[in-house]
């Protein structure tokens, strides 16, 4: 199964809570451990701390319990037998213009030594969907090693995921991704005004195989002690194991689209661009995950 890993999969109701109190407690815990502040457009990745949960380790708090259950669920469904552990962190964004710059998840310490290593699987679980409505965006077939060697890449597919509480997505850990606020109009989202609403709280878990990144360490015991405790019965329920089909929008000859581009990486030395159909919001009505498929000479690029 590992050999046929899907580029992107979405599980819209994967995480459901036994009560509003359970959800509120978990959101509060996410904010407490949040260290990776909003990624500026000129930065290539989150500049905060990530944590490590080794295989076979007992969780020390409710957050680690959920991380472990996400790890074990993917191990089982993908037949992963050589996982070393889960790297995890949280994002908490309460501004309508907050977003996450384009980047590759990697062992950044190893990368600085010229050894580029990526997680096997990257996952995002949306706990609260207020604040920024920037969708998670993932582009296929853009490998960091090739791009950093000076080779450009053509984008034939881009996946967009709208934040929805309880939704869980996973994708190939080598793929370029971000959460650009400019893409919110694809889902018909507009900036909110007036009364302040809840923040966007996200739990991110990367699964590593055959390698253990050096930088992330176990959540400090003094921090874990301040978070919700591990429970005998999980405070949340894992829903359907079947991935939902994405709404596919074909962007080809004759389709009106806006060419969008972003700079990223060190000193904004790289860029990603692709056409976004102008009528996407209407065509994808009620969808929370979209796959843009470029054809008939239309495409995106990274370089």
158 forms beta bridges with: 139, 292
- Decide if 234 is inside a domain: yes
Residue, of 196 and 14, whose pLDDT is higher: 14
Q: Indicate whether 249 belongs to any domain.
A: no
**N-terminal to C-terminal alpha carbon distance within the chain:** 31
Q: Mean pLDDT of all residues in the chain?
A: 86
Least confident of 196-205, 264-273, 284-293: 196-205
Residue 147 falls inside a structural domain: no
Q: What is the pLDDT of residue 9?
A: 96
Instruction: Give the count of beta carbons closer than 10 Å to the beta carbon of residue 22.
Output: 17
Whether 89 contacts 48, CB under 8 Å: yes
**What pLDDT score was predicted for residue 37?**
36
Assessment of whether the complete model's pTM goes beyond 0.85:
yes
pLDDT in tens, 79-107: 999 999 999 999 988 877 788 999 999 99
Checking if the pLDDT of 283 tops 70, the result is no
Counted domains in the chain: 1
Asked if residue 222 belongs to a domain, the reply is yes
Residue 286: pLDDT band with limits 50, 70, 90: confident
| Residue range of the domain that includes 170 | 2-134+164-244
Q: pLDDT per residue over 210-261, tens digit each? A: 999 999 999 999 999 999 999 877 656 666 678 999 999 999 998 999 999 9
Long-range CB pairs of 112-116 (<8 Å, 24+ gap) are 116/144, 116/145, 116/148
User: In this structure, are residues 34 and 51 in contact, taking their beta carbons and an 8 Å threshold?
Assistant: no
Within a domain: 50: yes
CATH number at residue 57: 2.60.120
Q: Which spans in the chain are helix H? A: 20-33, 62-78, 108-112, 144-148, 221-224, 280-283
């Amino acid at each position: 199964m590992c050999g046929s890993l899907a580029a992107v999969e979405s599980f819209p109701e994967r995480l459901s809570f036994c009560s509003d109190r359970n959800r509120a407690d978990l959101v509060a815990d996410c904010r407490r451990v949040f260290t990776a502040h909003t990624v500026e457009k000129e930065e290539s990745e989150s500049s905060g701390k990530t944590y490590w949960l080794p295989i076979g380790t007992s969780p020390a708090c409710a957050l680690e319990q959920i991380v472990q259950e996400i790890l074990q669920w993917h191990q089982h469904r993908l037949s992963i037998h050589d996982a070393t552990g889960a790297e995890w962190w949280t994002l908490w964004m309460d501004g309508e213009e907050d977003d996450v710059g384009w980047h590759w998840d990697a062992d950044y310490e190893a990368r600085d030594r010229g050894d580029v290593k990526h997680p096997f699987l990257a996952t995002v679980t949306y706990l609260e969907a207020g604040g920024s409505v920037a969708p998670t965006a993932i582009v296929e077939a853009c490998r960091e090693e090739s791009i950093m060697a000076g080779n450009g890449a053509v984008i034939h597919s881009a996946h967009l995921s709208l934040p929805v509480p309880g939704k869980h997505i996973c994708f190939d850990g080598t793929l370029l991704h971000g959460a650009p606020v400019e893409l919110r109009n694809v889902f018909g989202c507009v900036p909110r005004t007036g009364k302040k609403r809840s923040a966007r709280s996200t739990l991110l878990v990367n699964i590593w195989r055959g390698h253990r990144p050096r930088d992330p360490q176990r959540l400090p015991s003094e921090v874990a002690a301040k978070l919700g405790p591990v429970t005998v019965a999980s405070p949340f329920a894992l829903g359907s194991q079947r991935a939902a089909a994405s709404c596919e929008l074909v962007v080809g000859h004759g389709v009106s689209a806006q060419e969008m581009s972003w700079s990223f990486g060190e000193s904004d030395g790289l860029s990603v661009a692709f056409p976004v159909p102008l009528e996407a919001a209407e065509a994808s009505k009620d969808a929370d995950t979209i796959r843009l498929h470029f054809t008939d000479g239309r495409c995106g690029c990274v370089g």
